[in-house]
Amino acid sequence: MAPLGIARSLITSGGELPYEGNTTSADLLWHMKKYEHGTSTANVSGGFNVNGVTLVMEGSRVDGDTTLTGNLNVNSGTADSLGSAVTYNGNLTINAGATLSTSARKRGLYIFVDGNLTVNGSISMQHRGADNQANQNIQINNGSGLYKVGGSTTIATAGSAAGGASGNTGSAGSNTTTALTAGGGGAGGNGCTSGGSGASGSSFTGGSGGGGHGRSNYGCGSGGGSAGTLGNAGGNGGNGHNADWSQSTGGSGGAGNPGGSGGTGYQNAYSHGASGGNGTGGLLVVYATGNLTVGSGGSITTVGQQGGTGDRTCNNGAGNCDGGGGGASGGGILVAICGGTYSNSGTVTSAGGAQSGAGSSCSGCYGRAGGAGGLLAGGGYK
């Protein structure tokens, strides 16, 4: 339920400006702090007006100190079209072995903890980047504005870095606080002919990976397909040389939503390319008013997905057939900040997906890694 609008000139007893409603322009953290979600998931009518940009949003709240002992996917299973916000009114502890995430791809996961946040398990938007959603630049905190929550630092997203051209990894996203960007997708393997190019993503997703080329021991097959933009499908693997050549192997698909398909290998069914992994790194914003502690073994992650391996077999597993590996998807933007003390003894990462494998007969055929997403982590943001 959204609070009633109140004249801006009035000041609350706590010294803050009153909340004028979710359709009044303000930074994201202000809306996350002030908007009164219900205890059950519901769409935010009219979305959040973030510096003139409307973010379509669903959300819920949890009252009192909370300890997660098992996996929890917050809010709805609606994929791609919604951002997902959750407010914890109290301390939040995530125990070892428990993961807080979403059950579907989202236009970002936004967590506001009014208290201390302790992560001994995981908060993850790994492989949860939104598919084919237009980019929106998000002002997370306006450091000089009336409605700032996270102190005097301006924090904003600015889309995605570029995907890797043939033979290149995806470009790393910017860590510039005022212009954080997601990582680009890696290119498909090109040890014989060109692998497909990786693509850029958006503020909501890392880029998808290109497809690997096809090949044989006697010559090149077809090049790999390029990835779709905005976290769309990974590039398809190219086909092997042709049916008359020895150990003709299909290239493998790049990672994306979904992963690209493997190309046809003409030796036999064992030599078809592998499918790329499903998923891209998603956007994750975490803010705690108190301390944020990541314990040993704990993690906060927006990691990208790996492409299909180029290390294939043929002749019923007795021989070696190697095509181009699929490119990996980029990591998502990760913001994990607090008003108190930040302590990390675990892993806080926005890495791109790892490079895919390559066989011994084509050592340069590996699919290229995705670029890391922009990352901001720390304390004292109040």
The answer to whether 171 touches 193, Cβ cutoff 8 Å, is no
DSSP secondary-structure letter at 71? -
Which range of residues forms the domain containing residue 311? 32-183+276-378
User: Residue 114's pLDDT band (boundaries 50, 70, 90)?
Assistant: very high
Task: Select the more confidently predicted residue: 364 or 115.
Answer: 115
Kindly state the DSSP code that residue 376 receives in the 8-state scheme: E
Question: pTM value?
Answer: 0.94
Spatial separation of the C-alpha atoms in residues 350 and 328, rounded to whole Å: 13
Residue-level pLDDT at 17: 84
How far is 129 from 217, CA to CA, in rounded Å? 38
Q: How many structural domains are present in the chain?
A: 1
Q: Cis check for the bond before 3: say yes or no (omega within 30 of 0).
A: no
170-187: per-residue pLDDT in tens? 999 999 999 999 999 999
- Contact yes or no for 288/123 (Cβ under 8 A): no
Q: Residue 319: what pLDDT?
A: 60
Section 341-347 average pLDDT: 98
Angle CA 75–95–43, to nearest 5: 10
In a domain, 237, yes or no: no
Q: The tokens of 176 are what? A: 């510039």
228/258 Cα distance (integer angstroms): 10
Specify if 13 maps to a domain.
no
Residue linked to tokens 């996350």:
32
Continuous segment of H or E residues that includes residue 123: strand 122-124
* Radius of gyration for the alpha carbons in the chain, expressed in angstroms and rounded: 22
pLDDT band (50, 70, 90) for residue 24:
very high
126: Cβ contacts below 8 Å, ≥ 6 apart: 101, 279, 281, 282, 301, 302, 303, 304
Q: Does residue 247 have a pLDDT over 80?
A: no
What is the distance of C-alpha 240 from the center of its chain?
32
Is residue 85 in some structural domain? yes
**For 140-165, what is the mean pLDDT?**
92
Q: How far apart are CA 365 and CA 191, in angstroms?
A: 4
Does 197 fall in a domain? Answer: no
- Specify the DSSP element, H or E, that contains 32: helix 28-34
Residue 305 lies in a domain: yes
Mean pLDDT, all residues of the chain: 90
Determine the Cα–Cα distance for residues 284 and 299; give it in Å rounded to an integer: 13
Cα dist. 177→180, 195, 234, 303, 330 in Å? 6, 33, 29, 19, 19
Q: Which one-letter DSSP state was computed for residue 245? A: S
pLDDT, tens only, 187-227? 999 867 789 999 999 999 999 999 998 887 677 788 899 99
